[in-house]
Amino acid sequence: MRGYRAAWLPSDAVAGLMLAAIAVPEQLATARLAGFPPAAGLVAFLAGSLAYAAFGKNPYLSVGADSTIAPIFAASIAAIVGANGTQYASIAAVVAVAVGLILISASIARAGWIANLLSVPVVVGVLAGISVHIVIGQLPAFFGVASTSGSQLERLGQLVREAGSSNGFDIAIGASVFGITLLSSRVNERVPGALIALVGASLATKLGSLQLHGVEVLGAISASVPRVHLPALPTFDQAVAIVPPVLIVAAVCIMQTSAVARSFPISEDAEPATGSDYLAVGIGNAFAGLLGAFPVNASPPRTALVKQSGGASQGAALVAVAAVFATVLAASQLLAYVPESALAGILIYVATRIVRVRDIARIAKYSPRELHLFIIAVVLVVIVPIQTGMLLAIMLSLAHGVQMMMWPRSTELVNVPGTTIWWALRAEQNGVRVPGVLVFAPAAPVNFTNVAYIEDRLAALLAQSASHVRLLVIDASSVTDIDYTGSQAIQATIDRLRAQGTDVAVARLVVTHAQTAASRSGLLDKLGADHLFMSVDEAVRHFARP
């Protein structure tokens, strides 16, 4: 609270109350998604909010139960404990503590670069796949039929077979809650449509005695104060089994926390304090585990709401925590009548918010090749068990990065008519070639992973030339580094080409690190100082034009 200004209090109070209005239905619903009693969602919100208020720097960032990570650890833990449901909560608490320790370590080690390991198409695909998991998981409650099990396709098939026994009251409640929440968000994000819909559904259920018509409700919500305690330690086999989901949830938390911090910076010119953000979210996870809850994460929509509502400091989160628990104490009897189908409607709405439609449209328009990555990521997360699908999606993203590095788009450059510019023009555009000259751009750092491919591309372009190439000019503007293997391969190519009557020059070796590497490895000596030029046009004019 050092430096807190009294003038901030009204803004923090308004933002905190708005945050609480969104958090109550969302945290209740996410706890259900995580396989926990509804009160656990409020405990998770308490842990995440207090930890971030104490250790975080961003005045807007909201931490609590999150629907992005809930299906991941819920499916993983269910697969580990099997029919022994009594261990579910303790394993989830251990996962939360472990995730917290990883995030704290990431903060200490300045490991924010981990967030960059996932490409945008893969991230968007993973989120879309998670949204499918959420929707399919909530459809039974939405339609008022028995819960399904098995793979997503099997669960969907079971749901279709059960469609004839759907409960009309549940469908009406779920659809109404979804519609009100969606409409309010379209009108004004600050309108607590989910809370309004939840209260309305609870009143309708209580006054209309809808339980007599088969509408399932949450039941009594405990208002007791949570206590700090160490969760029961898992067995060795269980500890080994939870390692993959712990790593996946930690990676998603790092990725999402980084994205939220960058999207809602403290000021326009301020760098996001990701180190303190990871630390705060990590402590929030550990605290949630010690309180018997489950992993927490930074929330994009709640953070956006705090900023839109004028939050000035972390005091908004403290106001929200107080308001949430005041609501539980004052309205616990009414909350007991919250229909399961109402929470399903909220979660289905949340699932629609997870899908980044604009990003999908941009990917489809500007990068058809990366659209395939998006589709594969969706299929992996949906078809196979979610924890396995997440691992495969991460591997897909890394493989995509390696593929781009190993097979760079090395190409021929041609002269733009009437200029001194040499450019990789498309087939439908006109370019000028100088007879006997080939201008080649590796378009990547040259190293052991890609030098063979670059040489193959060069050999193919030399073979396609209509006449003997007397001069090869290598445009090195994109060569940011050259390792020993790459340098030795280039020197061997220079020797071979010169023996065949093709001289070699290099232009635009502009990156200092690449210049140093080329000098130390003997590449510049092999090339010759008189074969190094500031521009492609200068090299071509020096050697090829009378």
> How do residues 235-258 score in pLDDT, each as one tens digit?
899 999 999 999 999 988 998 888
3-state secondary structure of 507: strand
pLDDT at 427: 56
Angle in degrees, CA 242, 274, 89, rounded to 5: 25
Closest C-alpha to 290, from 98, 23, 499, 93: 93
Cα dist. 507→133, 455, 511 in Å?
A: 53, 18, 12
Closest C-alpha to 178, from 22, 20, 357, 347: 347
- Across the beta sheet with 411-415, what order do the strands follow? 422-423, 411-415, 437-441, 471-475, 503-507, 532-533
Q: Please name every residue paired with 441 in a beta bridge, in sequence order, or none if there are none.
A: 411
Closest C-alpha to 350, from 291, 300, 405, 397: 300
Phi, psi dihedrals of residue 412, rounded to the nearest 5°: -85, 140
pLDDT at 455: 94
Helix, strand, coil tally for the chain in percent (to 5)? 65, 5, 30
- CA 374 – CA 377 distance, rounded (Å): 5
pLDDT at 8: 84
Angle in degrees, CA 489, 493, 495, rounded to 5: 120
Long-range contacts of 204-209 (CB under 8 A, 24+ apart): 204/173, 205/173, 205/337, 205/338, 205/339, 206/334, 206/337
Cα dist. 495→297, 447, 498 in Å?
A: 57, 19, 5
pLDDT at 269: 61
- CA 441 – CA 205 distance, rounded (Å): 69
Angle in degrees, CA 408, 360, 32, rounded to 5: 120
Per the listing, tokens 């004019």 go with 541
Low-confidence stretches of the chain (pLDDT < 70) are 1, 83-85, 115, 222-224, 268-273, 426-429, 544-546
pTM for the predicted model, two decimal places: 0.77
Query: Per DSSP, which regions of 380-419 are E strands?
Result: 411-415
Q: Please name every residue paired with 415 in a beta bridge, in sequence order, or none if there are none.
A: 422, 432
Residues near 164 by beta carbon (within 8 Å), at least 6 away in sequence: none
The DSSP H or E segment spanning 472 is strand 471-475
Query: For domain 411-544, is the CATH number 3.30.750.24?
Result: yes
**Contact yes or no for 398/148 (Cβ under 8 A):** no
- CA 1 – CA 53 distance, rounded (Å): 9
Lookup: tokens for 53: 């208020």
- For the beta carbon of residue 398, count every other beta carbon within 10 angstroms: 14
Phi, psi dihedrals of residue 339, rounded to the nearest 5°: -70, 145
pLDDT at 323: 92
pLDDT at 274: 75
Sign of CA dihedral 469, 475, 478, 482: positive
pLDDT at 345: 92
Domain ranges of the chain: 8-403, 411-544
| Strand bridging mode 422-423 / 411-415 | antiparallel
